[in-house]
Structure 1
Amino acid sequence: MAVPTTRMLVLAVVRMMQPVHGYDVRRELLSWHADKWANVQPGSVYGALKTMQRDGLIAVEGVGQDGARPERTTYRLTVEGEKVFGDMLREALWSTEPPKHSYYAAVSLIPYAPRDEVIAALRSRILKFEADLVYLDREVERILAGSGDPRETEPHHVADNMRLAADHTRADLEWSRKTLQRIESGELDVWSGEPYK
């Protein structure tokens, strides 16, 4: 069973930065780009904090107001939260569950798409992946040039996450290039079915 990513990441940030405001948890996860690779949306952080407080995984450390800013709640991990975080992290680290991606289904249905559209889509993917790799490689360099202290900049472990994303992107790019070449050369010719309209 897959570990609930938002819950695990929010617990991790509370644990790492406690006592911490929900806004700081949100900001930290955005600095990790978790909205992109883990689909952790900024609004879901606050929902996760409420649910985890209700479930006894985090506790309110205090409520305060700084000047004219709105009142903010500060959270700390509970003993139960520490246990649940450890269990979730362990399960995720040992998981070899393959990622589920709608593109896998689309690849299996290529014979039912017009050949020229498949070629155009592959060319588009190749351009996108090439641009993504430039971005990811630059981000890794930028993050590693910082202190690594999460209270100042992105922690260095975020660079490792981006390296993993870059490696996946490189594999997808390689597959896309090879598949395009196989289609264009005629080696891969699967268009016997009726394409959609």
Structure 2
Amino acid sequence: MSAIRLLVLGAVRQHGRAHGYQVRNDLEYWGAHEWSNAKPGSIYHALKQMAKQGLLVAHETEPSTAGGPPRTEYEITEEGTREFRTLLRASLTAYDQKPDVLSAALGFMVDLGREEALGLLEERVRVIEEWRSAVTEHYVPEDGPERLGHIGEIMNFWVHSADSGAEWTRGLIRRIKDGAYAFAGEGEPFVGVLAEGEENPYRTDETHPGDAQ
């Protein structure tokens, strides 16, 4: 599962309409270029591809007053919203050891209702426990991974990652049950995107031809 589609659809959705550089700026604000494949080229490619697929609508805007070329603004469609929610739900429950997928889902989890988010996270714990059980049953020798020499450290790492992932998820479940965050239908949500013209303290200095489109 790739995080880039969820990230791009979610960023466009939060703005209503957004041009490519706004989407890039938001994702850099989240640090997504560090923990996912949300690099400039991937972002602009995803925008164009999802517009072709009917998940986004591309609107050409007027040229800038500074004389630059017109920028394309993107707007999510009903089909795109359905795809966004499908990806979000799957990413909250999946356990594939790719932190970018879960990280992307956490950024948009408040778009769901509180009870639905809790149910998905509880399912995630079940999936992790099931995965751990299957791995230790089939791949760990009865007398422990040490029998495999240093290769056993791979299994130690997998099991430790699963245990810590389940523990962290249970903690998040507790926080949400205790009332943390404003979920869908609970009032004004936290705004996790930058306003037009707002300075991004985390932006990179890398330029890309798509920035002007």
Deviation digits for residues 3-59 of structure 1, max 9, x if unmatched?
Answer: x21111000001001211111111111111101111211111110001000000000
| Aligned twin of 1:17 | 15
Q: How has the CA–CA distance of structure 1 residues 70 and 95 changed in structure 2, closer, same or farther, with 3 Å as cutoff?
A: same
Q: How has the CA–CA distance of structure 1 residues 148 and 56 changed in structure 2, closer, same or farther, with 3 Å as cutoff?
A: closer
Stretches of structure 1 that go unaligned for 5 or more consecutive residues are 101-107, 112-146, 155-197
C-alpha distance in 1 between matches for 2:26 and 2:42: 14
Aligned residues: 110
C-alpha distance in 1 between matches for 2:3 and 2:85: 13
The 3-state SS of whatever aligns with 1:64 is: coil
| Aligned twin of 2:94 | 95
2:54 equivalent to 1:56: yes
Match for 2:52: what amino acid? R
Question: In percent, how many aligned pairs have the same letter?
Answer: 35
C-alpha distance in 2 between matches for 1:109 and 1:7: 40
Q: Which piece of structure 1 moves more, 85-94 or 36-45?
A: 36-45
Deviation at 1:109, TM superposition (A): 8.7
Query: Contact (CA 8 Å) 1:30, 1:42: kept in 2 or not?
Result: no
| Aligned twin of 1:117 | none
Query: Contact (CA 8 Å) 1:58, 1:81: kept in 2 or not?
Result: yes
User: Which residue, out of 22, 30, 37, partners 1:32?
Assistant: 30
The 3-state SS of whatever aligns with 1:20 is: strand
Query: Contact (CA 8 Å) 2:11, 2:26: kept in 1 or not?
Result: yes
Q: How has the CA–CA distance of structure 1 residues 99 and 9 changed in structure 2, closer, same or farther, with 3 Å as cutoff?
A: closer
C-alpha distance in 2 between matches for 1:89 and 1:49: 18
Deviation at 1:62, TM superposition (A): 3.4
C-alpha distance in 2 between matches for 1:99 and 1:45: 19
Deviation at 1:149, TM superposition (A): 5.3
Match for 1:92: what amino acid? S
Query: Contact (CA 8 Å) 2:60, 2:70: kept in 1 or not?
Result: no
C-alpha distance in 1 between matches for 2:69 and 2:3: 29
| Aligned twin of 2:74 | 75
Query: Contact (CA 8 Å) 2:11, 2:193: kept in 1 or not?
Result: no
Q: How has the CA–CA distance of structure 1 residues 51 and 86 changed in structure 2, closer, same or farther, with 3 Å as cutoff?
A: same
Q: TM-score, normalised by structure 2?
A: 0.47
C-alpha distance in 2 between matches for 1:148 and 1:13: 11
C-alpha distance in 2 between matches for 1:109 and 1:48: 44
C-alpha distance in 2 between matches for 1:31 and 1:148: 12
Match for 1:78: what amino acid? T
Match for 1:57: what amino acid? L
Map 1:1-197; keep pairs closer than 5 Å: 2=1, 4-67=2-65, 68-99=67-98, 148=191, 150-152=193-195
| Aligned twin of 2:185 | none
The 3-state SS of whatever aligns with 1:74 is: strand
C-alpha distance in 2 between matches for 1:89 and 1:149: 16
Higher Rg of the two aligned structures: 1
Q: TM-score, normalised by structure 1?
A: 0.50
Stretches of structure 2 that go unaligned for 5 or more consecutive residues are 100-147, 152-189, 200-213
Q: Larger relative contact order (C-alpha < 8 A, sep ≥ 6)?
A: 2
